[in-house]
């Protein structure tokens, strides 16, 4: 944790107004997401940017088993894709840019050294939009590493228990039970 800022539980409670429901952004399988205001850490954050299309981890709170990420003011991609209100819909230009952002993030993840990573649960609710509607991949709760052994790439992870969110799962996964980088690409294609 030497590169992350460590926050106390008291700081999290204060920054989220005691986890006020009005500050809840969403809820997932691993917990709730709150909008919060914490001490100024922009210099430290800017020095650790890893990729512009991945939501950046800002810090941790060991006491509360919590991860603190950068704020994504335009919410998740799920919001405009599922909204019936015209004011929340995305233009075609924005949609193409967001798809390109996600492709860029996936290329980075899949080719990261020494071991690439595949996400495994890519879906609109796990793609967040910053102030400029730049798409950023989030929620790495079930991601897996791509291993390299004996100069051969082994880009899959065989599993007997299903991972991910059912409506967004690659149909091929049900036959092979293998998580691969192609799995992420299929998930991206399902909602683009």
Catalytic residue among 79, 112, 121, 150: 121
Active site residue 121: yes
- Name residue, tokens 């990573």: 117
Q: How far apart are CA 136 and CA 119, in angstroms?
A: 13
Q: What are phi and psi of 141, to 5 degrees?
A: -60, -30
Q: How far apart are CA 40 and CA 16, in angstroms?
A: 15
3-state secondary structure of 42: helix
Among candidate residues 74, 135, 132, 130, the one with its CA nearest the CA of residue 101 = 135
Contact at 8 Å (CB) between 163 and 119? no
- Name residue, tokens 């050294």: 113
Q: How far apart are CA 186 and CA 183, in angstroms?
A: 5
Helix, strand, coil percentages (3-state) for the chain, rounded to 5, are 35, 20, 45
Q: Would you name the residues annotated as active-site residues? A: 121
């Amino acid at each position: 944790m030497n590169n992350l800022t460590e926050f106390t539980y008291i700081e999290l409670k204060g920054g989220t107004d005691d986890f006020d429901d009005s500050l809840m952004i969403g809820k997932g399988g691993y917990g709730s997401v709150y909008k919060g205001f914490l001490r100024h850490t922009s210099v430290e954050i800017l020095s650790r940017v890893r990729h512009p299309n991945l939501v950046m981890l800002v810090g941790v709170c060991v006491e509360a088993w919590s991860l603190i990420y950068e704020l994504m003011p335009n919410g998740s991609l799920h919001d405009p894709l599922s909204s019936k209100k015209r004011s929340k819909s995305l233009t075609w230009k924005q949609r193409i840019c967001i798809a390109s952002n996600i492709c860029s993030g996936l290329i980075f993840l899949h080719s990261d050294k020494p071991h690439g990573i595949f996400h495994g649960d890519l879906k609109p609710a796990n793609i967040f939009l910053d102030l400029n509607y730049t798409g950023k991949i989030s929620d790495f709760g079930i991601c897996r590493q791509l291993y390299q052994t004996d100069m051969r790439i082994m880009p899959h992870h065989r599993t007997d228990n299903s991972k991910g969110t059912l409506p967004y799962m690659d149909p091929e996964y049900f036959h092979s039970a293998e998580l691969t980088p192609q799995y992420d690409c299929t998930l991206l294609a399902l909602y683009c």
